[in-house]
Amino acid sequence: MIEEHLDFNLLRKCADCGACYNVCPSCLYIEGYDPRAVIKDILKGDFEKWLHSEHIWQCLECHQCLELCYQHYGFENAMTAMRLLATKKGIHPAQVKRGWDMFVKTGRLGEPAMGQRKRLGLPEPKKSGKEEFLKLLAIYKERKAQEKNRGEAEL
């Protein structure tokens, strides 16, 4: 399952390199944040403990590592994979779930501040694509369900 998300050949080089420590803001300023330790555990097949760790949510997705990396890979890939696996198991900060819920209900992460807009003399915001988005979401979910059924039938 983890192999689906990560290229182990690249990860192995990463485990030996560590150049990112010098540019990664979270490595530099947040105690205990150490993507290479995570990567080594992934390579050992022993990463479960990280799914519960607050550290995997401290990657800022700033892409400094990606740009610096001679493999154009980056520490962040390991952290993103960990977060994906964690959310699949329902382990994530409460705020992430709140944001997700709002997104699938409204297509947005916040509604325009109407009172403040009026006071500032801003025009009415344009209509959002909420209805069309919800339709598209239903289509997407249906496709995913079909795929899953097909997959199970093939097994």
Partner 1 sequence: MKEFAVFWGCTIPARFPFIEKSVRTVLNGMGLPWRDCEGFTCCPEKSLINNIDHGLWVLTGARNIAIVDEQGLDLVSPCTGCISNLATIKGELHVDHRKKEEVNSMLKEVGRKFTGRAGLNHLVPFFHDKVGAFRIKSAIKKDFRGMRFAVHYGCHMMRPYHALKNDDPLEPKKFDTLISWLGGESVNYMTKLTCCGQGLDRVDQHPTALQMARVKLKELKSIGVDAMVLCCPSCFLQFDNNQFLMEKEGESYGIPVLYFTDLLGLAMGYSPEELGLNQHRISVDGFLEKWERLWAARDTEKKIAEEFKEEGAFI
Q: How far is the CB of 72 from ligand SF4 (least distance, A)?
A: 8
Q: Give burial (CB, 10 Å; 0-12/13-18/19+) of 51.
A: middle
Please tell me whether residue 59 binds ligand SF4 under the rule CB under 6 A.
yes
Q: Return the ∠ at Cα 70 (arms to 67 and 75), rounded to 5°.
A: 60
Report the half-sphere exposure of 118 (CA within 13 A, side-chain side).
2
* Binding residues for ligand SF4, total number by CB under 6 A: 25
Choose between 12 and 125: whose C-beta lies nearer to partner 1: 125
Joined together, the tokens standing for residue 116 give 């403040």
- The residue within the footprint of ligand SF4, chosen from 6, 38, 79, 86 (CB under 6 A), is 79
153 binds, among ligand SF4, partner 1, none (CB under 5 to 8 A by kind): none
Using the CB atoms, write b or e for 57-69: b if 16+ within 10 Å.
Answer: ebbeeeebbbeeb
Please tell me whether residue 80 binds ligand SF4 under the rule CB under 6 A.
no
Choices 13-21, 36-44, 45-53, 59-67; region in contact with partner 1 by CB under 8 A: 59-67
